Amino acid sequence: MRLAIRDVLALIAGDPQADRAVPPTGFTARLTLFTAAAMAFLAVFAMALSLATGRLADRWSEELARTSTLRISAPADQAAAQARRAIAVLETTPGVAAARPLTAEEQRNLLEPWFGPDLPIDALPIPQLIEIIEEGSGYDPIGLRARLQAEVPGAVLDDHTRWREPLVAAAGRLRMLGWLAIALIGLATGAMITLAAQSALAANAQVIRVMRLVGAQDSYIARAFVRRFTQRALMGAAIGTLLGMIAVFALPDADVAGGFLTGLGFRGAGWIWPLLVPPLAAVVAFLATRAAAMRTLGEQS
Amino acid sequence: MIELEDVAYSYGRAELFAQLNLSLAPGSFHFLTGPSGAGKTTLLKLCYGELSATAGQVRLFGQDATTLERDGIAMIRRRIGVVHQDCQFLDHLPVAENIALPLKVASREAEAVGNLDDLLAWVGLRAQANQTPPQLSGGERQRAALARAVIMSPDVIIADEPTGNVDWEMSQRLLTLLVELNKMGKTVLIATHDLNLIRTAKKQVSARVLRLKDRQLHQAGAEL
């Protein structure tokens, strides 16, 4: 651990002489820069997806947990009376903050996406809906159902559990997929940087031979390669992250267009998360290049 | 300083030499001769730890070379200056930086400030300090390689055919530099085909001539 910290500090401090010993190689430099930039760009989107689905899961969970719906399915001449009785029952139920019947206009709005705007709601046998707002730890659904069954036979209580659980589970899985994508992006970045580093090490076999001839230790030789690849990965990832953040920022606003996908993005302090991508890319490059360098140096000895 | 005891070395099934013994005492001067393919370069590589013996024991400054890790070998190399026939430079760096490279890898760059200029003057390459190795002539490259080999003030100088690619005049100049180093107390081991070089050297310094032939190392006779 102490050795790793010393290595990182030495890397930050830099050793221009060790760097100069390795000739600049344009191809691997460009490859590493492009890979790091592309992966950082994708990582920013994966992060935005993960954070957005997290927010969505929380919002769905909270919104659906705080409200429920009572449906009064009764003949037209009894509907109003049953609704009043149901309201009376709800107003005396602990854990219910408020209960109100939806207006005909509100019920029409709910049905409009399915039946169109010209729905003759008065001519249809549509059940009366009552919105229940909960308070505190909520009401006891089993007790309320028993009371409603006794006093309002046409009432059906929907506490949204059957909607909420699969939605929250789906959002949770999406969030997990987002983080999995970030982990895969990190691994793929490491793999590609390893290949680029191995290519550079193979191309510089003569340099390594000369440095060994004059007494260079493996750590000194490796440092020249590690520092170079770490810097390239950091720079590439910074460019990719910046472009990714601009792209996420430019996405349509959720409030304007609505829907899940338009909610993709960062909110408030969430904008700090993508800033972690470049240093993480640098750490991945450092570890990948160091492992590749030490392995190659071992094989070349 | 460098001792080989009953050493054997094989490339696959082909045994290059066996039961070979060699001891380089401090301040001694040795020539290593022998026909091409006899294993002179291999023997030199065993002496500076680039190769490991397939049998026997190689002791470098009292340490068993077979037990040394790569970093341990690197530390040993800082006490042995090596001059290759093909010099082996970093072609993208100027001559001065190539010569100072051993100091840099040992984190002793500060010593390069005064030493480097003196060394460039000693090998006559002051004017070429900022040129890159491919811009140098064969003799200049050999002198630059010699300068790099001695900049760490090593205890031992090992040179593999240092005069192989240079004319007679330049080979005499290189020999003079090596003899000067020996007179400064450095141990010198030179592999060469050049018998004239050996004869000239023997007039200037007490040199032991070893001949690698038929997988064994022999003391060369008075014919030299």
Token representation of residue B72: 């341990």
**Residue A220 touches chain B, beta carbons under 8 Å:** yes
CB–CB of A214 and B92 under 8 A?
Answer: no
Is the predicted pLDDT of residue B166 greater than 90, yes or no?
no
Q: What percent of chain B has pLDDT over 90?
A: 47
**ipTM for the complex?**
0.86
A residues 14-53 closer than 8 Å to B (CB): 17-18, 20-21, 23
Q: Is A12 helix (H, G, I), strand (E, B) or coil?
A: helix
> Can you say how many angstroms the Cα of residue A266 is from the centroid of all Cα atoms in its chain?
9
For residue B18, the distance in angstroms to the closest alpha carbon of chain A comes to 23
Mind telling me how many Å the CA of B84 is from chain A's nearest CA? 10
Q: Which residues of B touch A (CB under 8 A)?
A: 50, 70-71, 74-75, 77-78, 82, 84, 88-90, 92-93, 97, 101-102, 104-106, 109, 148, 152
**Structural domains of chain B, ranges and CATH numbers in brackets:** 2-219 (3.40.50.300)
- CA dist list (Å): A135 to A93, A94, A97, A140, A157: 11, 9, 5, 12, 17
pLDDT at A17: 62
Q: Which amino acid, A123?
A: A
Contact with chain B for residue A299, Cβ under 8 A: no
Distances (CA, A) of A17 to A21, B73, B174, B213: 6, 22, 29, 43
Q: Is the pLDDT of residue A102 over 70?
A: yes
Residue with tokens 């992966």: A39
pLDDT digits (tens, 9 = 90+) for A37-60: 999 999 999 999 888 888 877 777
| Nearest C-alpha neighbor of A225 from the set A195, A201, A191 | A201
- The pTM for the full model equals 0.73
Cα distance between residue B106 and residue A215, in whole Å = 7
* Segment A10-19, tens digit of pLDDT: 655 566 666 7
Lowest mean pLDDT among A5-14, A20-29, B24-33: A5-14
Element (H, E) at A114: helix A104-115
